[in-house]
Amino acid sequence: MDIIAAITTRKSIRAFKPDPVPAEVLRDIVRVAQQAPSWANTQPWEFAIVGGKKLEEIKLAFAGRSGERPAPDFAGPGRLPEPYAARAGGMFAGIAKVTGMAGGDRTAALWWLQQGENLYGAPAAIYIYLERDFCFREDATNVWPVFDCGLVAQNIMLLANCYGLGTIAQAQAVHHPDILRDLLGIAETKAMLLGIAIGYPDWDEAVNSFKPDREGVDAVARCYDID
């Protein structure tokens, strides 16, 4: 698969088959993904590659805390201003449409939240974490290690696509970082940034037919003297 196909066919997968992902494939994906650039080659990313019983333990622990207020190491955006709210709203409406979930159905919304906490049934996950003090300085926040982790995360998702695997980046997967640090033996000094659920997509599930739109180039770019 060439890079353009890898990018254009990647989309978030929200229903996975239970089939396990071979260990060598997961390790290869992480090995190659690390070719991502990073500030002064600091390579701030660390990974927990998790499957099998350990992932089941994590899912169970998250289910036990379902409905609890998330306490992520990295704050989310809070209330979204425009135009972001409209884009997010369009995305949620698109999922509701293909899955048949009615807007305002609280039972369906709760069920959907639980699906997310269960990593949408993925048999494996790659958690990305990094040294807390490298990001949160006394005088300011150093965003660059997080930026670098974003680059490696996208590499992971594109590589997975090349292996016929599906992925979804999930802030939800790190909503309870204490559970992850505890079950994975990760030090308190590390901040859990993101979980990427990974597995073989269940293409029979309608939710996987959905891909939200993107803005046109003219809506997001100003061009100067390029023609």
Ligand X SMILES: Cc1cc2nc3c(=O)[nH]c(=O)nc-3n(C[C@H](O)[C@H](O)[C@H](O)COP(=O)(O)O)c2cc1C
- Binding stretches for ligand X (CB under 6 A): 11-12, 91, 116, 168-172, 194, 211-212
Q: Which amino acid would we find at residue 131?
A: E
CB of 91 or CB of 162, closer to ligand X:
91
Q: Are 124 and 199 in contact, with CB atoms under 8 Å apart?
A: yes
Q: How far is the CB of 110 from ligand X (least distance, A)?
A: 14
Q: For residues 49 and 46, give the distance between their C-alpha atoms in angstroms, rounded to a whole number.
A: 10
Q: How far is the CB of 175 from ligand X (least distance, A)?
A: 8
Q: Which amino acid would we find at residue 198?
A: I
CB of 3 or CB of 226, closer to ligand X:
3
Q: How far is the CB of 186 from ligand X (least distance, A)?
A: 19
Q: How far is the CB of 196 from ligand X (least distance, A)?
A: 9
Q: For residues 135 and 45, give the distance between their C-alpha atoms in angstroms, rounded to a whole number.
A: 12
CB of 30 or CB of 170, closer to ligand X:
170
Q: For residues 10 and 1, give the distance between their C-alpha atoms in angstroms, rounded to a whole number.
A: 11
Q: Are 196 and 157 in contact, with CB atoms under 8 Å apart?
A: yes
CB of 116 or CB of 121, closer to ligand X:
116
Q: How far is the CB of 171 from ligand X (least distance, A)?
A: 4
Tokens of 134: 């490298």
Q: For residues 165 and 152, give the distance between their C-alpha atoms in angstroms, rounded to a whole number.
A: 17
CB of 22 or CB of 89, closer to ligand X:
89
Residues with Cβ within 8 Å of residue 139, at least 6 apart in sequence: none
